[in-house]
Amino acid sequence: MKKITSNLKKSANTCAYSFILLAFFFGFLVLGGAAPAILQIIRGESDFNELLKNLGALLEFLFTAVALLMMSIGLFGINKTGKPFAEKNVKSFKLSGKLMSIGGFIGSVINVIATRYLPEFEQVEMEGMGVGLILCGEVIVMFVDFLRYGSEVQDELDSIA
């Protein structure tokens, strides 16, 4: 069991740092998305569709960055305690999954609205990243169910011990 816990801690640590790096990357993308939107507002440009598109991308990146941060917090929790089924870790994973799904959904909807207002109606597009984010979020929430099962096993074992 000790070997398993130490392996788990190592993997969680590696993944946590990778997630933090990714979160920073998405943070930069948020800045990159925000800059043109802010410039547009300052200049008073009236291209509402372009502004909406930028806003959609910005929200997607923002929600993803926060979700990745939550995920890395959960992974650091695993690294600290060595217990993957602790309530705190499970909660942060669940929040991360929900944030990803919500970000993907809002981003997709805004993007669809933005492209619908274009003169060419055939340009209506469902943004790939938004759909991908929704799916990722759903997968994370599904894994949270496994973690919940594990936490029940751990609780029962603790109560027996």
Partner 1 sequence: MKTAQTSLQKRLHSDTIFTYVIAGVMGLLSILRLIHLFIALDNVRLAGDAYTGSVPGDLLSEALLFMFIAAAMLMLSLVLGEIHRTGKPFSRKNINRFRAMAYILIFASIIPEAAKGLVGFADPTATYATFQLINARSLCVMFFGVVCGLVSEIFRYGYELQDNMDSIA
The contact set with partner 1 (CB under 8 A) reads 1, 4-5, 7-8, 11-12, 14-15, 18, 22, 75, 78, 84-85, 142-143, 145-150, 152-154, 156-157, 160
DSSP per-residue string spanning 108-135: HHHHHHHHHTSS-GGG----HHHHHHHH
Comparison of 35 and 153: residue with beta carbon closer to partner 1: 153
In degrees rounded to 5, what are phi and psi of residue 127?
A: -75, 130
**Hey, is 47 helix, strand or coil?**
coil
E-assigned strands of the chain?
none
Is residue 76 within 8 A of residue 93, CB to CB? The reply is: no
Q: How far is the CB of 118 from partner 1 (least distance, A)?
A: 27
Q: How far is the CB of 14 from partner 1 (least distance, A)?
A: 7
∠ CA 50-126-110 to the nearest 5 degrees?
45
Is residue 147 within 8 A of residue 93, CB to CB? The reply is: yes
Comparison of 90 and 114: residue with beta carbon closer to partner 1: 90
Q: How far is the CB of 159 from partner 1 (least distance, A)?
A: 10
Q: How far is the CB of 129 from partner 1 (least distance, A)?
A: 11
Tell me, rounded to whole angstroms, the distance of Cα 58 from its chain centroid. Answer: 13
Comparison of 79 and 111: residue with beta carbon closer to partner 1: 79
3-state helix, strand, coil in the chain (%, to 5): 90, 0, 10
Comparison of 110 and 147: residue with beta carbon closer to partner 1: 147
Comparison of 4 and 42: residue with beta carbon closer to partner 1: 4
